[in-house]
Amino acid sequence: MARKAKAARGSKHKPPARGARRAAGEVSRVAPESPTPVDLCRLTLHSVRDRGHISQIEAFAASPPRGASFAEWLESLPTFLGVKRLRAAVDAIVAARRAGKPVAMAMGGHVIKVGCGPIMIDLMRRGVVTAIACHGATAIHDVEVAMIGATSEDVADTIRDGRFGMVRETMEFFADAAGLAAREDIGCGRAIGRLVRERAFPHADYSVLAAADELGLPATVHVAIGTDTVHMSPDMDGAALGAATLRDFRTLCGVVAAMGDEEGMAGGVWCNVGSAVLLPEVFLKAVAVARNLGANLDKLTTVNLDMLRHYRPARNVVGRPVTPGRGHDLAGHHEILLPLLRQAIIEQWP
């Protein structure tokens, strides 16, 4: 009887059948049958002349002679990819201005740091760029260039001993600009530009914000509290700064709304130059406000120019806000791309 019970208990623990193991999810280790080689002689072929082609010699580069004009050089470029996008951006900007529509340049700080401020100022004076948008870092570099003819510190060096950003003159200027904005009920960009001019800084001619104030063009500064060195100043009035940058946002919404199309006319152009996060986010909200208030932005064109491609410019500038085909992405260094863009524009304008 005991042996029968032991046998019965043992029978409960017999391994499951092979099929049961596979059903439980175990992988079969049986090698698959070798595939039969296909017979390539059975392929259906067609003539190369019957196929559509993306690349054709009509679009290939030419070799202009030494001493060729810029227009001749530009015409010699191969009509592919980046060149097509560059030409589309130039055409859109010129068409927008001929239709009396805004062309806005939203600039990150590196635009100023690599010496491209004079290019923006020239386009503003020519009537091509009609609005400027930037964030706090751009404004800081712009002011320091006007103040002393230099800007940008070695952060890796100064962050180690607590000197990073602790610049008296810059902090004092931006605290004063916030105070001026509060007293005059004006935006941050206008206050900065006006103060640069009033103080007659020795290099004020290099200030994009001062040029905008002189020309009466909208110039907005979009501040994220805590992101800029001047926010470390004990004299900075956060309420005044916040109110000033909010005024600027409302001004920018008006700029974007004015980019709306009219029957048979081109729309405006928004260029995002070197801002990876903040200005693309600001622009997206401005588009939302403009459309919510009834602006038709179907003919709006956007251009992103930067040395690297980032998520937010791709989505919030080139992608989401515009209809397909109206967003252009140009990758390249500012110090090369912006002079090229400017020269291509002025060959057509006015």
Which one-letter amino acid corresponds to residue 71?
A
CB 174 within 8 A of CB 196: no
| Topology (CATH level 3) of domain 66-346 | Deoxyhypusine Synthase (3.40.910)
Measured CA distances, 265 to 8, 13, 95, 104, 261 (Å): 91, 83, 9, 18, 6
pLDDT along the chain (350 residues), means of 10: 51 55 64 89 95 91 94 93 94 95 96 96 98 97 97 90 92 97 97 98 98 98 95 95 98 96 84 94 97 94 92 90 91 94 94
Segment 57-61 long-range contacts (CB within 8 Å, at least 24 positions apart): none
User: Closest Cα partner for 130 from 313, 252, 293?
Assistant: 252
Which sign, positive or negative, has the C-alpha torsion 346, 259, 95, 321? positive
The reported pLDDT for the residue numbered 12 is 54
Using DSSP's 3-state secondary structure scheme, residue 61 falls into coil
Length, in residues, of the chain: 350
* Residue whose pair of structure tokens reads 């340049």 in the numeric block: 105
Enclosing H/E stretch for 316: none
The reported pLDDT for the residue numbered 124 is 98
CB 341 within 8 A of CB 90: yes
Measured CA distances, 297 to 104, 229, 250, 319 (Å): 15, 36, 17, 14
Cα–Cα distance, 267 to 322 (Å, whole number):
11
User: Closest Cα partner for 108 from 274, 228, 223?
Assistant: 274
CB 135 within 8 A of CB 278: yes
Cα–Cα distance, 230 to 172 (Å, whole number):
8
Please state whether beta strands 131-135 and 269-273 pair in parallel, antiparallel, or not at all (unpaired).
Answer: unpaired
247 CB-near residues (< 8 Å, 6+ apart): 181, 185, 186, 187, 188
CB 135 within 8 A of CB 108: yes
- CA–centroid distance for 65 within its chain: 35
Q: Say what the pTM is.
A: 0.86
Which one-letter amino acid corresponds to residue 156?
A
Measured CA distances, 243 to 136, 212, 264, 278, 290 (Å): 14, 20, 39, 18, 21
- CB atoms < 10 A from the CB of 94, how many? 21
The reported pLDDT for the residue numbered 262 is 72
Cα–Cα distance, 318 to 297 (Å, whole number):
14
Query: In the numeric block, which tokens belong to residue 46?
Result: 């067609």
> What string of DSSP letters covers 164-213?
TT--HHHHHHHHHHHHHHHHHT--HHHHHHHHHHHTT-TTGGG-HHHHHH
